[in-house]
Structure 1
Amino acid sequence: MEAHYFIGISLPREVAAHLSRWQSAMKQHANYKNWTDSDDLHITLKFLGAATEKKIKKLCNELVECGYTSTFSLNVEGFGFFGKPTSPRVIWAGVEKTNSLLLLQEKIDQVCSELGFEKETRVYKPHITLAKKWVGSSSIGPELDSMLQHQEVLGTVKVNKFTLFKIHPNQTPKYEVVQQIPLSPQNHL
């Protein structure tokens, strides 16, 4: 069976630790099967799915082109969810949708599609998954609902690289760094 991969932006320790504290508070009021480990918190740029090592090696060479971009910063701000408001399938922390982030994501999606990975058809919604797979028998309570209303800035991420990760579903942390690609417009010849 082929391993699964994705491309994302790692979070600074202080931002991950801050989000982890929020997760701890949320766990008291929410029933989710999976809570993202603080070492695995990230901003997904592109989910690749299953791929051969040969295809991943070729992708690593091509992704360098996406690194010819200036570094940038973005804020992690507020919380939200995907799914029903009473039993959301995913709880996430929001990520500022900057032009730099959108351009990087588009470049990566284009390079990946040229190598045969499926092109993304949904509108890109940058976020950090905190919990997924609601298993509660009742709807979320007022405590969790109140936490999800928090819309302040939770931290800032200085993006100076992006990472290709390999997924190990039965391990903690689940994500292994395959390659990091630094952002540097000066390297472009």
Structure 2
Amino acid sequence: MMRLFTAIAIPDDVREKLASIQPEHPDIRQTPESQIHLTLRFIGETDKTLTRRVLHALTHVAFRPFEITLSGTGCFPNPSSPYVLWAGVRYHPVMGDLYDTMQEELFRTGIPYQNRAFHPHITLGRVRQSEKKRPDEKPPLAPVLEDFLQGEASRFEVTFDVNCFRLYQSRLHSGGAIHHCLREYKAD
């Protein structure tokens, strides 16, 4: 079985800038700089036959090159109970069309439509509860989160060109997921 997802790769210089705004705290597991990407569609566990069908189906996803602007920071589900810390992505119609076309092609392979709305973002970290230290031995998390959500990081903005997307395999490890590119799909 393979755990698959599609994503837009982030250029090295942009990943470096994103890594520079990641908040640091014992209760935040940062996304490693080398693993920073923009997920388009999580596919999930697939066997070899379905993986081959997905690899082929994605060759039918046509799109034209476009620009992405990353802007600001935020968290899911909300600031009073954060779990995922992210950099924002400004909506671009071509990216929306790319996502919709990808959904159609994946559906033809037997993969159901994603039930939730497409909210493009780049995960920079996840908030966790540390079991290693007592709460009074750790620095407070609230000021770090406030700075990430309202300080200099919240004014982060960078634009880059997109001319392909990738199909990744994700392997889960104790330190987080490791992603490996299976194939790249170029714009028309």
Which one of the candidate residues 90, 101, 108 is aligned to 1:107? 101
2:30 matches 1:35: yes
2:124 matches 1:130: yes
TM-score, structure 1 as length reference:
0.86
1:173, distance to aligned residue in structure 2 (A): 7.1
**1: CA distance between counterparts of 2:143 and 2:44?**
36
Is the Cα–Cα contact under 8 Å of residues 24 and 144 in structure 2 kept in the other structure? no
TM-score, structure 2 as length reference:
0.86
Q: Secondary structure at the match of 2:172?
A: coil
Give the RMSD, CA atoms, in angstroms: 2.0
**2: CA distance between counterparts of 1:74 and 1:152?**
16
Which residue of structure 2 aligns with residue 177 of structure 1? Answer: 181
Unpaired segments ≥5 residues, structure 1:
185-189
- Letter in structure 1 aligned against 2:55: C
Identity over aligned residues, as a percent? 24
Is the Cα–Cα contact under 8 Å of residues 75 and 86 in structure 2 kept in the other structure? yes
Unpaired segments ≥5 residues, structure 2:
none
**2: CA distance between counterparts of 1:13 and 1:89?**
26
Task: Give structure 1 regions of 4+ aligned residues with deviation exceeding 6 angstroms.
Answer: none
The aligned length equals 178
- Letter in structure 1 aligned against 2:159: T
Is the Cα–Cα contact under 8 Å of residues 73 and 156 in structure 2 kept in the other structure? no
Is the Cα–Cα contact under 8 Å of residues 69 and 158 in structure 2 kept in the other structure? yes
Aligned counterparts, 1:1-189, within 5 A: 2-23=1-22, 26-28=23-25, 31-32=27-28, 34-66=29-61, 68-135=62-129, 140-149=141-150, 150-170=153-173, 174-184=178-188
